[in-house]
Chain A
Amino acid sequence: MLSGILVFNQKGENLIFRAFRSDCRPRLADIFRIQVIANPQVRSPILTLGSTTFSHVKHENIYLVAVTKSNANAALVFEFLYRLILLGKSYFGKFDEEAVKNNFVLIYELLDEILDFGYPQNTDPDTLKMYITTEGVKSAIANSPTDSSRITQQATGALSWRRSDIKYRKNEAFVDVIEDVNLLMSATGTVLRADVNGQIVMRAYLTGTPECKFGLNDRLLLDTGDSPGANGGRGSGGISGNKKTTRAAAGSVTLEDCQFHQCVKLGRFDADRIISFVPPDGEFELMRYRATENVNLPFKVHPIVREIGTTKVEYSVAIKANYSSKLFATNVVVRIPTPLNTAKTTERTSQGRAKYEPEQNNIVWKIPRFSGQSEYVLNAEATLTSMTHQKAWSRPPLSLSFSILMFTSSGLLVRYLKVFEKGNYSSVKWVRYMTRAGSYEIRPALRF
């Protein structure tokens, strides 16, 4: 497993160096600095030199590096590095060079706790905050032996993510369904790829040890009689396309795949698709899912690019909102790439503002509020400087970002959230839906 964890800033200064095995020598910091930070040709996150492997992740302005010897479990290494980032964010708000420098002693303390001999241990922020504390994060209990036993029980228990003594006067649970819709549309207007990456984030403020049951309008859940065999719950490969569309019309969605938080009882989901769990306190990501069928694309974009000689490019971009007129999207931003040798641009829009951002080589068109079913147009012109060496322009795709409340591209709905607790209290539940642009790209149609 891991031999050491190193943190560097962009200049290559070593901010944290913690060895967990005697084969992690101080000189390895120099090797990483020379071979990776100072070497612009390195493009892979994994570098093996001799018997030493450096796996790194860049976050904000720091490099987080795991040193391993031999053939380590790479998935575990990267999951751990990303967990470290999460933990840093949870403790310090932001995990960047400043935060690391301001808390380096605490980070050493955390590393000693969450890794033993290079094997990841309990990394749940809630448990860790019970006994590894800053002034910003005060422990609820003092470190006397009896209290310590409670901590150790928590850290090694089956419900390591939840303390047992949580109390709320008002019991509430908030569910956010957040979908990132991805689109790749060809120049001819055919959809090359459209899918949804969904995530369900829950904020649970519930007393005691509540058992939650969560239901979606998932096709396989609604229609258990039709599931293909006892063990074929997830593979939707064998079902004909026709059936799928009728189901969607009937108000259910097909989830290609789901992944759940540690707290969800996976065995139960596999057997009867019931999402059952004891939630951690506060905010956590309950599940992620993927949907690829009947994706509702919130925006249709028709970009036309005309290259006039070698000195001018004309753009005409029309964008139409495809959702109900009762809804509206906010912060709609369309990025229209321009050639690298653009000298100046002029833009006209029927809504919002457009501006040329030379450092990004983009015309950025912002529409703060975009109501459903409306359609807006941008016309722009880029004047190019002449170049001695005519290099082909790669014509990157247009990209969109936006967010729409109370709309899911997949059509997913939360059907119920039930909370069972021995205190038998009543609880209030809230559900919110949001769809954002993931990678929403449209390749421009070229006219000459």
Chain B
Amino acid sequence: MSSGGDAKLFARGKVAELRQELNSGGKKDKNYSAKKIALKKIVANMTMSNNDMVALFPDVIDCMNLPSLEIKKMCFLFLVNYSRMKPEVAMKALPILVDDMEDTNPLVRALALRTISYVHVREFVEATFQPLKRLMQDNDAYVRKTAAFCVAKLYEHDKKTVENSDLIDRLNRMLKDDNPTVVSSVLASLCDIWGRSESISLTIDYVSASKLVSILPDCSEWGQSYILEALMSYVPQDTAEALLLAERVAPRLSHSNSAVVLTSCRVILYLMNYIADEKHITSLCRKLSPPLVTLLSKPPEVQYLALRNAILILQKRPEVLRNDIRVFFCNYNDPIYVKVTKLELMFMLTTKDNISVVLAELREYATEIDVHFVRKAVRAIGKLAVKIESAAKQCIDTLLELVDAKIPYIVQEATVVIRNIFRKYPNQYESIISHVIRNIDDLDEPEAKAAVIWIIGQYADRIDNSDGLLQDYLATFHDETVEVQLALLTATVKLFIQRPTKGQQLVPQVLKWCTEETDDPDLRDRGYMYWRLLSTDPATAKQVVMGQKPPITAESEKLDPRTLEELCLNVGTLATVYLKPIHQVFRAARPRRLQHSPALQRLQVEDGTASMLEYNPPTANMASASTSNSGLATIITTGNPISPVNAPPAPTFPVGPSATGTAAGADAVNAADNYFNGIGSQQMASMDLGGRGNGAGSGGAPQSQFVVTQNQQQGYQPQYAGGAATGELLLL
């Protein structure tokens, strides 16, 4: 069909010329080759979003009935692309499609059904319902699986009409189909519908789940993924059932498709919540490790995903990945996103037994070229000192070695982590202070400056020329960032408290600057606070300023139990890349929570009440499952979907703009907002389905947009780690 030499056709064309070409040839053109070439050019122009092509709509429709499947497919592609812009012209194609759905050739029937259901025009959607019901019972499995997806497509176009029809029931009944491909397609379709409506719940009982697992081997790898995903809607009522199912899913972990592997991990981790016996849990955990590591021999994008999921799974089930940490060592040629994630995982897996190997490795990374990566490696060394007390000395020695190389960004990063080490182990390792101070002139980043100033202030009585050092910084006080100014203020007060004679000249000056010459409210407040404290009761001032600080840990980036639970139910999805509460990144995603059942093992109920309230009681689901015992799985539409009475209350997550970060991020958010909103309003007018004004796109909804890029997500976030007072947050 396609000649394979079409590159020359991939060029911008004019409507008039193309129309002429399309109509040339006439009777002589037996194989319609002239028409084919013209159509190919049109398809190329369509790709280049040359929207003039829409003028050719009538001419293209004229070609639709020519006896060539290749021409037909190109015409259909054109139709799918442009029907929204010219619905009235597109109407002429409708009879052809309806006709084709009765063709004797199953491939043609399926093609017509697939195409008609892509067209976002009301008449097309309405015309699909009747033929679809027939084709759902077609004697050809290929047509039936196309029909199964078609229901989800119609649901996207027009929720209400689908819910008011019996299509979802019919779809449900198709689960009894004896062709596994059809069954997996039906499940994919049902899950898609489930994801779009809060008023629909999907319930699978044990018998059905067990049946689904038994057809897994007969499905394509994609079909297996769909079935595994659907198994997440099975709520085990009995711990033995959960175990049996988990063990039957486990062989899938050896599949070569990483989607099958990771979705199997998800199902097994999910089922573990319902398994009582710790021995079985351990044995299942042991099965999860090797496949996760094996994914590291896949392409880098899949490696990345596997690593991010390993970080997640490790927090839930620390017994996974107990094997050699060395498999996570970075290869020199790994892409940066893989390296940084491996580093994070290495940090998590380091214990006092393997710290020597890890430190040697991190030291090696600190000599690489990528500044971002080097900084993370240095930071990891500092974090390990905080995490593993017995190895702190070893970590500090490694840091000092690195500092001696005098590479500016290493020195700065090391200064910051050494500050944290002092925070964690007060009044130890003071011998290294001089070592740090020696490089004071190399520091030019606010975070590093603030760190060294904190050290000077904290140990003002042990550093001989502490007043001189502070004075040097104070000379440029007004040019510093607020972070550094805050550190200077506190350090000066500490100096005064510890060595009043040396500090008495500096303090009034700094307090004056902070209270009278700054616009920053934090700085001013802190200035006034110190001022009053010092002027009313110096003894209390000492207690407050030099008091015991709360201990810091290196585990602060651990996910809270609620987010952890939610993410574990979404292993392998995009959210696991960001490792954030799903609603912060994907507003439209339907939440998933562990469903209550007699078998549910809730050992660490921290905020269990919240998740219990949001859901329909499981008994209701079971009841409805038993009433329609015909199907394998049941999808239930609860009454009028618009009425808020039946809909479970949507859980609200405290998502403030502060949660996502930097100012640069906010700019990008706004830009994206403008983009999407613009698109929404321009195009909505022309493709509004009657009575469904809000339908066109979830992107245009009046919700604020968030940018979460990998860089930002793991990026350098000085606003968290900065300042002497906020040393609790250590970021890798």
Query: Which residues from chain A sit less than 8 Å from chain B, CB to CB?
Result: 1, 13-17, 19-23, 25-27, 29, 31, 41-53, 55, 57, 68-76, 78-79, 82, 92, 98, 101-106, 108-109, 112, 116-117, 119-124, 131, 133-136, 143-145, 148-149, 151-153, 155-158, 160, 180, 182, 184, 186, 192-193, 195, 197, 229, 231-232, 234-235, 237, 256-262, 265-267, 269-270, 285, 287-288, 290, 292, 392, 394-397, 399, 439, 441, 443
Contacts and interface: CB of A to CB of B under 8 A. Distances in A.
A50 B6 contact: no
Contacts of B252: 266
B449 to A, nearest CB: 23
A78 B709 contact: no
A10 to B, nearest CB: 16
Nearest to A23: B697
A149 B106 contact: yes
Interface in B148-183: 149, 152-153, 156-157, 179-182
Interface stretch (B267-275, B281-289, B455-463, B614-622): B281-289
Interface stretch (B424-432, B525-533, B626-634, B699-707): B699-707
A443 B360 CA distance: 12
Given A75-B262, A108-B43, A267-B217, A101 B10 contact: yes
A152 B107 contact: yes
Given A135-B2, A152-B141, A232-B286, 17 more contacts: A22-B696, A45-B300, A46-B301, A53-B574, A71-B575, A75-B262, A78-B302, A82-B302, A101-B7, A108-B73, A136-B4, A148-B108, A153-B142, A237-B323, A270-B254, A290-B290, A292-B327
B340 to A, nearest CB: 9
A413 B348 CA distance: 37
B586 A192 contact: no
B367 A43 contact: no
B574 A117 contact: no
Interface in B38-87: 40, 43-44, 46-49, 69-70, 73-74, 76-77, 80-81, 84
A25 B4 contact: no
B297 A237 contact: no
B297 A49 contact: no
A259 B251 contact: no
A131 to B, nearest CB: 7
Contacts of A184: 329, 331
Contact of A148 (B106, B149, B156, B323): B106
24 contacts: A1-B192, A21-B156, A23-B699, A27-B675, A49-B668, A50-B699, A68-B574, A69-B588, A70-B698, A71-B573, A71-B575, A73-B263, A79-B221, A103-B4, A108-B77, A109-B2, A117-B156, A119-B226, A156-B179, A156-B181, A259-B255, A262-B255, A269-B251, A288-B297
Contact of A92 (B4, B44, B145, B221): B4
Interface centre among A45, A55, A151, A193 (most CB of B within 10 A): A45
Given A119-B149, A290-B294, A259 B256 contact: yes
B368 A57 contact: no
Contact of A158 (B146, B218, B337): B218
The 3 nearest A-B residue pairs measured at CB: A44-B710, A152-B142, A235-B286
A267 B250 CA distance: 9
B412 to A, nearest CB: 15
B697 A22 contact: yes
Interface string B412-445: 0000000000000000000000000000000000
Contact of A237 (B221, B322, B577): B322
Contact of A193 (B120, B305, B327): B327
Contact of B573 (A15, A69, A72, A144): A72
Given A22-B696, A231-B283, A102 B6 contact: yes
A344 B723 CA distance: 49
Contact of A41 (B291, B707, B711): B711
B358 to A, nearest CB: 11
Given A134-B3, A143-B107, A152-B141, A44 B255 contact: no
Contacts of A31: 672, 675
Contacts of A98: 7
Given A101-B6, A116-B114, A152-B143, A78 B301 contact: yes
Contacts of A143: 69, 105, 107
Contacts of B676: 50-52
A49 B705 contact: yes
A71 B291 contact: no
B286 A237 contact: yes
B407 interface: yes
Contacts of B612: none
A266 B192 CA distance: 28
Contacts of A47: 709-710
Q: What is the size category of the interface that chain B forms with chain A?
A: 35 or more
B710 A160 contact: no
Given A17-B49, A117-B152, A148-B107, A292 B305 contact: no
Nearest to B328: A193
Contacts of A395: 367
Contact of B287 (A27, A42, A76, A235): A235
A22 B290 contact: no
A256 B293 contact: yes
A152 B140 contact: yes
A43 B335 contact: yes
Contact of B73 (A55, A109, A157, A270): A109
A120 B43 contact: no
A439 B330 CA distance: 11
B360 A74 contact: no
B582 interface: yes
Contacts of B578: 48
Nearest to B583: A71
Interface string B385-412: 0000000000000000000010100000
Given A25-B697, A119-B226, A145 B105 contact: yes
Contact of B180 (A136, A158, A397): A158
Contacts of B76: 112
B364 A152 contact: no
Listed residue (A47, A79, A109, A193) with the most chain B CB atoms within 10 angstroms of its CB:
A79
A60 B212 CA distance: 40
B102 interface: no
B658 interface: no
A156 B226 contact: no
B332 A50 contact: no
Nearest to B699: A51
A73 B225 contact: yes
Contacts of A134: 1-4
A396 B370 CA distance: 12
Contacts of B293: 256-257, 290
A100 to B, nearest CB: 9
Give the most central of A55, A259, A443: most B CB within 10 Å. A259
Contacts of A144: 105
Contacts of A75: 258-259, 261-263, 302, 305, 572
B5 interface: yes
B247 interface: yes
B709 A48 contact: yes
A262 B105 CA distance: 29
A105 B259 contact: no
Contact of B47 (A16, A44, A103, A266): A16
Contacts of A394: 367-369
B370 to A, nearest CB: 9
Contact of B299 (A57, A234, A262, A292): A57
Which of A16, A156, A267: most chain B Cβ within 10 A? A156
A87 to B, nearest CB: 13
B441 to A, nearest CB: 17
A132 B333 CA distance: 38
Nearest to A337: B332
B505 interface: no
B577 to A, nearest CB: 5
Contacts of A44: 304, 337, 709-711
